[in-house]
Amino acid sequence: MLNSTKFYIDGAWVEPVETVRLAIENPATEESVGEISLGTRADVDRAVMAARRAFASYSLTSREERLGYLERIISGFRKRLPEIAGMMTAEMGAPITFSTQRQATVALFHFEEAARVLANFQFEWKEGVGSIRREPIGVCGLITPWNWPLNQVGSKLAPAIATGCTVVLKPSEIAPLSAMLLAEIIDESGLPPGVFNLVNGDGPEVGEAIASHPEVDMVSFTGSTAAGIRVAQLAAPTVKRVAQELGGKSANIILPDADIASAVVAGVHACYTNGGQNCQSPTRMLVHNTHRDQAVEAARGAVETIRVGDPADPETGLGPLVSRQQFDKVQELIQSGIDEGATLVAGGTGKPDGVNRGYFVKPTVFADVVRGMRIAEEEIFGPVLSIMSYETEDEAVEIANATPFGLAGFVQSTDPKKAREIANRMQAGRVYYNGAPFDRALPFGGYKQSGNGREFGRFGFEEYLEVKALLGFPDA
């Protein structure tokens, strides 16, 4: 039985200090699928102090010991992967096929990747007349979002455990149940008490308590830019390390030599990944003026192939948005696109035909979108694509970079040299060429207001380590 109303602190499931419950809603049915307790600063303090006590010994564990813990977590995760996928479908609406093949699987990958990096990582080496040593940073507060409820947990938690840190996790209160399943797996792995702690709650109470706690050495946050700014402000008085993966408004530049129709179709589906609730989605499609009409027709045809419906159906391609609040936000932005003069190619406001419950949105495409429109500037976080036109390559790059965000970029072309020149000029933490797959061994993070620091692979591993110089020692 899932201990969803308890917190996992110091190696045990414990009752919260206060009893305040929150129902977890299935966004496809608008019915409750469970409930959690909302924590307080007192719960956070209890978890942080458990992590602080555990750090003294866990930071000294060997590479082999930590590999053993990771391997047991990986084994437990694999056994429960179908259950985890089903839970994510219920709590945040991702279609079950996507939950299984992407949501759950990529979360597992982060533990596998952390073990791979740990196995051969060089923690100490000679440098000049001394040595350099990498050591775990300490107690880490992890604050994660609802759109990839375990992927973002795994991308933070796995390297923290691998490097010898201890953790207090606050999953999103909108989609927390899959993280509770992971906590059960970790409990069964034999990880020492206090190394991993979980406290549910909202941002203003639990999130802020973690970010400001004097015994937390690092905060890793994924979410909106506005919330990221607040986290950084709260962390500043104690000079914590702050790693952030924030918003995005990624541009997909389709150069004139590309196969326009296939590039547009691929771009539509990439934009709608995870129902469009994806921080790096290519939501701005840039096409040459001469290809505007062709792009519009290709996009309209692509939308017609998308099956919207019950996320429990393996054939469903697009499920609901996560909540009423998110639904209302996306509806408002779609209406703003209409009001500001963009051409509605497909979709629009309201729910899809025949849908009378759940937070389903029509997959939407706008053309003739220009800078200054809200749909060109704001992160929508829904299945809404904006097609923008350019005259020259310089203009395309200028449009792509004309945003406070810089998480990802995309370039489509048959000329790899030209595409690389464009990619080098894009202000983004990642640039994909011709639909290259998402590689979680490579660093992920953004320029500008898309955050700081990097996750995944070796770069994500190093975020949880301090650097110490050793001088004058005989073995240095």
Burial class from Cβ neighbours inside 10 Å (0-12, 13-18, 19+) for residue 393 reads middle
Indicate which residue of 140, 165, 271, 279 is catalytic: 279
Q: From 136, 116, 144, 293, select the one nearest 210 (Cα to Cα).
A: 144
User: 279 catalytic, yes or no?
Assistant: yes
Distance, in Å, from the CA atom of 437 to the CA atom of 434, rounded to the nearest integer, reads: 9
- 3-state secondary structure at position 30: coil
- Cα angle at 10 between 8 and 16, to 5 degrees? 45
Q: Which letter, b or e, does each residue of 414-429 get, where b requires 16 or more Cβ atoms within 10 Å of its Cβ? A: eeeeebeebbebbbbb
What lies within 8 Å, CB to CB, of 421 at 6+ separation is none
DSSP string, 206-238: IIHHHHH-TT--EEEEES-HHHHHHHHHHHGGG
Selecting among 25, 112, 208, 245, the annotated active-site residue is: 245
In 164-290, where does DSSP find H-type helix?
177-188, 208-212, 225-235, 260-271
Cβ distance 247 to 408 under 8 Å? no
DSSP letter assigned to residue 451:
E
Full DSSP string of 342-372: -EEEE--SSPPTT--SS-----EEEES--TT
Tokens of 297: 């027709």
Q: Are 214 and 137 in contact (CB under 8 A)?
A: no
Residues with a known catalytic role: 245, 279
